[in-house]
Amino acid sequence: MTNSASYFPMKAVCSALFSWGLISGLLANIAIAKNQDVSSLTDSQVHIQTATDPFSPVIAAEYLPKNIIYLIGDGMGPAYTTAYRYYSDNPQTNRVEKTIFDQLLVGMSSTYPDDDTYVTDSAAAATALATSYKSYNGAIAVDHQHGALPTIFEIAKAQGKTTAIVVTSQINHATPASFLAHNESRRNYDQIADSYISNLVHQRPIADLMLGGGTQYFVREDRDLTLEFQEFGYQYVDQLTDLNSISSLPALGLFAPKGLPAAIRSDDPLRLTTMTAKALDLLSKQDAPFIALVEASQIDWCGHSNDITCAMTEMHDFAKTLELAKRYVDAHPDTLLVATADHSTGGLTLGRDGTYQWQGQLLHQVHSLPRSIAKLIINTPDVLNDLNTFSTFLRPHISIDIEDKKLDSLRWKLNSRLTQHKAEQHITDDLKQAIDKLTYTGWTTGGHDAIDVPVYAYGKGALYFRGHKDNTEIAATLIQMVQDERYKQTSSF
């Protein structure tokens, strides 16, 4: 099975895009026909496609948002949002409280790439979410022939709208890159970073605000892209503590060599929330409408590592970010919030080994990542000398009450790893598995899986995201909204 056809009818322009002279033509070529009926203010207002129709959304004018906040929980399949519900539950109440994810849920989305595997990577998924086209795993907004696929950010920028990305990965990682760049491989990090300064619309970089990590790709021996951005008038900061020194757009903030420190190890465990709050403040000061991409990048990294503690702390940051975005929409009702995941990671299960329970509340008593604990053990192996010493060492990191027999068994196992090749990795894995057994958490893979992912929407135009959507349909709808909201100012900063 292949799915080369787009859900957005603009195939004729895809293989030849980026001399900028074609962008203006692109905006005309990708316009969707408006000959379908919009009958009422209810669900019937959303056009129903047949199985063979290309997806061509028709958006009623009264539901066109001025601003769009597009949030992606990388790797956040439905098991993650379910786990977060129980992790964040108040055990003092009789009922399990609903989370922000429960409150905003409107549907589900398929994520398959343009091949017969059904399992996408982040690049192909982000390409679909940014362009409405499916492509191959590893593709950064290009088709199988490496022709550039126009992105929602490029289309918005061509209309004079303000654009922003906020991520906890490096800003040239697969998801943000698929909104701002075009490359045959997500692994070409330096090329992608370089293209952020060369892929221009109206002689300006695509993103007016970029917050995340990635200094090692932007400040290199051969080239310092941060200086080149400053020549374009960008403010630049390289410390998260200096975030509030950004007073206007355009701006660039790079706060780590690659991804930001994990939430559980960060001086600001809600660093995505903090960056998003600053971004929304800056965007609100602009006259132009905006589209902002906000990605909780490291949920996926936790899933690849099969680290449930890591996953729940990243989920907490994303939940708080989502709550912040909802409050913004409440205060700015001309704004649309859409959130989803690019795919699910790890094959997470709540319950294991035939036992009918999940003890996610215990994760609040895990205060350090297993890999951090493993590093300490490698550096001070004497902590494994006896049960008392090990218990004293472990208590500040994992304060769960563990039977002496089980704890001593873990100590013996960790001790046996010290002389093995890749001892630190083995100890990390042993600690993660111990936590999994205590909480009855299961995993099926260290990669991605093909499970459908949740879709959340709130604000102006949210009804167009109800039900089951393919990821390309989410993008096609948002692109149509960006096109139809006819803000045409093209002056630069």
Tokens of 256: 């780590």
Residues paired with residue 209 on neighbouring β-strands, in sequence order: 164, 251
Give 228-254 as a DSSP string: HHHHTT-EEE--GGGGGG--SSSEEEE
Residue the block writes with tokens 């995993």 = 443
Round to whole Å and give the CA distance between 485 and 492. Answer: 19
Give me the amino acid identity at 379: N
**In this structure, is the dihedral angle defined by the CA atoms of residues 447, 448, 450 and 453, taken in order, positive or negative?**
positive
Residue the block writes with tokens 């994992």 = 398
Q: Is 122 one of the catalytic residues?
A: yes
The overall longest dimension of the chain from CA atoms, in Å, is 77
Round to whole Å and give the CA distance between 112 and 427. Answer: 35
The count of other CB atoms within 10 Å of the CB of residue 92 is 5
Which residues make Cβ contacts (< 8 Å) with residue 27, sequence separation at least 6? Answer: 155, 158, 159, 483
> Which among 244, 232, 66 has a CA at the least distance from the CA of 160?
66
Q: From the DSSP assignment, how many helices (H) and strands (E) are in the chain?
A: 17, 16
* DSSP state letter for 45: G
Tell me how far the alpha carbon of residue 241 is from its chain's centroid: 22
Candidate list 6, 56, 88, 122, residue with the active-site label: 122
Active site amino acids: 122
